[in-house]
Structure 1
Amino acid sequence: MKKLMVFCLMAMFIYACSSNSNESKKAESTSEVSAPAGNDASAYDEHRGEGKFTNVEIGEKLDPAMAAEGKLVADVKCASCHKMSDERLVGPGWKGVTERRKPEWIMNFVTNPDPMLDKDPALQAQLELCLVRMPNQNITDEEARQIYEYMRENDGVK
């Protein structure tokens, strides 16, 4: 049973990483050869990342319903690569991520990882450790907010 579960997780990982292979391969090859137009790393905000989220209002208290929805999304789209502890699986563990990163950065990264992987020095260093680019999982804005709330729950926010 354990072998079957490991096999299923690996199959999901391979599928997730190959589902948008043409676009990601094109983006990867472009970023290796030369920076695309408008890819000015000096304009990159390492605290916010790059994307549409500029000011996310987060309450002091956890929204349990939103966190529960976030868990459902994360179980399908994230759990094959990320653990809820600080242990790395394929990608880094999620423990403490909401304490290290602003909500805007996290939500921008999960909704559109490619531009941030191309510009963020910390992500590039992480990529050298993990050896696998985070695939774009087509996470909606609402799902990103739910995942963030689930991450907060994991980090002990009540």
Structure 2
Amino acid sequence: MKTIFNLILLAVGLLLASCSGQKDNTDNFDINKSTRKEDGQVKASERIDLENKGVGPIQDVMLAEEIDLDRAKEGEVLFNQYCVICHKVNDKFIGPAMKGVLDRRSPEWVMNMILEPAKMLKEDPLAKDLFMEFNGSPMSDMGLSEAQARAVLEYFRTL
């Protein structure tokens, strides 16, 4: 009986200590605060790498000078259906902001990330850095076809 009383007393003490009202360093967290990591390097989400094509089935994407608005509208629908859970257009969220993504990444890299996120995370250094920057949140494989991924890419061109 005395052991049970001591365990209850210990649990109450731990509960009171954890609810002491003291702030921890996460209370003022701002995901958009800085583009530099503590070691002075640019964050993966802000890094520009247009040479990396990623790992996956897409090796070459030819972008027409003019945006295909019908394809972009299809891509917007797909983005709103599958991607907005983790990605916002203008703001970082669970994943990076999509506005200007094609100023930072090659079209091939973007499509490979959409089509093969697990393979990219396993083999692509930039995808690994993004995974770490976004607190170990892996991108989900939404099962999109190449044509659907290309439509999403066309939508990104409009942002």
TM-score for both structures, normalised by structure 1: 0.65
Q: 1:6-49, CA deviations, whole angstroms, 9 ceiling, x for partnerless residues?
A: xxxxxxxxxxxxxxxxxxxxxxxxxxxxxxxxxxxxxxxx6111
2:154 is aligned, of 127, 145, 149, to 149
Q: Supply the AA of the counterpart residue of 1:80.
A: I
User: Aligned partners of 1:51 and 1:122: how far apart in 2?
Assistant: 14
* Structure 2, unaligned runs of 5 or more: 1-50
Identity of aligned residues (%): 33
Alignment of 1:36-75 (within 5 A): 47-75=52-80
Tell whether 2:135 aligns with 1:126. no
Q: Looking at secondary structure, tell me which structure has more helix per residue.
A: 1
1:84-116 C-alpha deviation (Å, 9 max, x unpaired): 11x211111111111111111111110111111
Partner of 1:139: 144
Rounded Cα–Cα distance in structure 2 between residues aligned with 1:126 and 1:49? 13
Which residue number in structure 2 is paired with residue 115 of structure 1?
Answer: 119
- Equivalent residue letter for 2:86: C
Give 1:142 deviation, angstroms: 0.6
TM-score between both structures, scaled by the size of structure 2:
0.65
Aligned residues, how many? Answer: 108
Q: Which runs of 4+ in 1 moved over 2 A?
A: none
- Structure 1 segments unaligned to the other structure (5+ residues): 1-45
Q: Separation in 1 of the partners of 2:114 and 2:84?
A: 13
